[in-house]
Structure 1
């Protein structure tokens, strides 16, 4: 489970004044490919059903559709259009909740573990503790299955029993070898196997919905999401932040905003479960953000920034509980981003 900032075509500086028109021209052919989908968006604009907002929602649907389908080299430029349309919808009164938490985001301060429990986090220590539940269950299943199979196959007559049991018993070593050479393959297998746990899909849903909602409330446009096993992510479309993230020029306010979004998924898990499973990618994203801060953060400051981000994320999720639950229902149905946005606004 990860939060993804689009960082393609990083060598070209993006200007909102000079790039918008060429992008629009290049996307005309793409947008003509999905007229049926764009026609349905009018019915979805229940928040404020004026002709202006219906048109803007239609444009937003088109741009988000483009974002999914165009090559990576164009994604950063399209993100500017997504942000611009969200701002227009907000000005038209259709998105009053978008960015509403950005102005109220508290300044950095020292946060203790006890304060994290006060905002609903069951076990703050679990956020930084890597869980081995899924890994251990997968490896135990592989070893147990192959061992039992090897014993059974060993009963075959003659050389068949010897070679078949030997080969079957060696599968465990092959799995461990693959994990040491290419951990990504083994991790995908572990993620797929993890579906046997009843809470797996609900964890993924809560995790990604938390990223989505906090980003939306903090004014960072969401371009897409996925709950597919091995591809869980939330895409953020914010060209200005992306450019400064690449150039290592993030201001303190930007670091704070992205930190809260990055840790929202793990925080959401910690608010409902004693053990957190999906914090690895969140912690990686947070570390990358802090490394690109214009103000150098030492180890104590980074540790406090992590606690502060979890505290703020938990505060937002508690304050907007109804929106959070509604968003989960939308994402469970695999609704489009614009439909998820409208569901948030209609709460």
Structure 2
């Protein structure tokens, strides 16, 4: 039997003033939550991030509402040593030095195939040295054009598409990586506004080769603080954990991380813009890694179900509802 919540309403004659009880079941409350989340999806689709965030905050912490939004239990913020991280099963070298061996291998194989194909074409067509030089210069020009005009987007699109098509491991890793970003953001009180799993997906949704796959957030509050030149400790903590959530998820699942180098570089750039010393940046990273890892471990089932939803391309509202349905109130 679901949870029952009682609301009092004065529907009796004014002279009696006797309250009547309206019984609202947990299934009705869930339906109301889903209706709000459907509206959140509509606002995000229109690009009205403030309206979407307002809807979520209105339902935050209410019975049958969004119990988990911004409700994650966190570790105290202080300087944690590397030994303390090791005691919690975290090796920072394996976590913070991601190398994408899958895409690296695909790139090398493509280069080899291109070289062999060019050699075969040269022999079959009977190209002379001058023609071969012109062909090489043409390919170099296209490669340079991609780097300058699309920030390497065409090459990334090709390599990423091959990775998702022929490597199930790579495909699964990307999904779990993005589910980590999504879950940590939501539990820390930052609303995700959309996600893409592949570069091709990003191209279809954004219409630009310069946009890579990933999870986007309603971050106007952070941007307002950043533009003012002063980011609050709370906001910095949230985004430090969100930035490291992908690599941390991979580390917890596979024992090492491959993707997420761009996330780490962006976090480093933020620290530099705020004038952090290396010691202060290291302290922030160690706390964020430990905090993120413990949250992810506590809510492993929610991350797994969220990853399933994201693999099917479900909406942000559906993904949020999946988190709320999975996490028990006692575990928040």
- Does the alignment reach a TM-score above 0.5? yes
The residue aligned with 1:127 is: 95
Alignment of 1:116 onto 2:85: yes
Alignment of 1:284 onto 2:265: yes
Alignment of 1:327 onto 2:306: yes
**1:172 Cα offset (Å):** 6.6
The residue aligned with 1:344 is: 323
Contact 2:243/2:264, CA 8 A, preserved across alignment: yes
The residue aligned with 1:212 is: 182
Contact 1:99/1:219, CA 8 A, preserved across alignment: yes
> What secondary structure sits across from 1:248 in the alignment?
coil
The residue aligned with 1:96 is: 67
**1:312 Cα offset (Å):** 0.8
> 1:139–1:98: structure 2 CA closer, same or farther, 3 Å change rule?
closer
**1:55 Cα offset (Å):** 4.6
Contact 1:147/1:168, CA 8 A, preserved across alignment: no
**1:206 Cα offset (Å):** 1.0
Supply the distance in 2 between the matched residues of 1:281 and 1:170 (Cα, whole angstroms). 30
> 1:135–1:174: structure 2 CA closer, same or farther, 3 Å change rule?
farther
Which stretch shifts more, 170-179 or 148-157?
A: 170-179
**1:213 Cα offset (Å):** 0.6
> What secondary structure sits across from 1:235 in the alignment?
strand
Supply the distance in 2 between the matched residues of 1:136 and 1:336 (Cα, whole angstroms). 31
Contact 1:83/1:221, CA 8 A, preserved across alignment: yes
Contact 2:43/2:49, CA 8 A, preserved across alignment: no
The residue aligned with 1:49 is: 27
Q: How does 1:150-299 map to 2 (within 5 A)?
A: 150-156=118-124, 159-160=126-127, 173=140, 177-178=144-145, 181=148, 183-185=151-153, 186-195=155-164, 196-229=166-199, 231-291=212-272, 297-299=276-278
Structure with more contact order per residue of length (Cα contacts < 8 Å, sep ≥ 6) = 1
**1:136 Cα offset (Å):** 3.9
**1:316 Cα offset (Å):** 0.4
The residue aligned with 1:62 is: 39
Residue deviations 1:118-158 (CA, integer Å, cap 9, x gap):
4444x42133325263564244223321332233234336x
> 1:166–1:146: structure 2 CA closer, same or farther, 3 Å change rule?
farther
Contact 1:48/1:94, CA 8 A, preserved across alignment: no
Q: Which residue among 47, 52, 56 is the counterpart of 1:86?
A: 56
Q: Structure 2 length normalisation: TM-score?
A: 0.74
**1:198 Cα offset (Å):** 3.2
**1:88 Cα offset (Å):** 2.5
Supply the distance in 1 between the matched residues of 2:309 and 2:144 (Cα, whole angstroms). 40
Contact 1:142/1:172, CA 8 A, preserved across alignment: no
The Cα RMSD (Å) is 3.0
Contact 1:224/1:235, CA 8 A, preserved across alignment: yes
Supply the distance in 2 between the matched residues of 1:292 and 1:181 (Cα, whole angstroms). 25
Contact 2:197/2:214, CA 8 A, preserved across alignment: yes
> 1:166–1:149: structure 2 CA closer, same or farther, 3 Å change rule?
farther
Contact 2:102/2:163, CA 8 A, preserved across alignment: yes
Contact 1:204/1:232, CA 8 A, preserved across alignment: no
Supply the distance in 1 between the matched residues of 2:115 and 2:137 (Cα, whole angstroms). 9
Supply the distance in 2 between the matched residues of 1:297 and 1:162 (Cα, whole angstroms). 55
Q: Could you say which structure has the larger radius of gyration?
A: 2
Q: Which residue among 281, 289, 292 is the counterpart of 1:310?
A: 289
Alignment of 1:137 onto 2:116: no
Supply the distance in 2 between the matched residues of 1:48 and 1:289 (Cα, whole angstroms). 43
Q: Aligned residue pairs: how many? A: 287
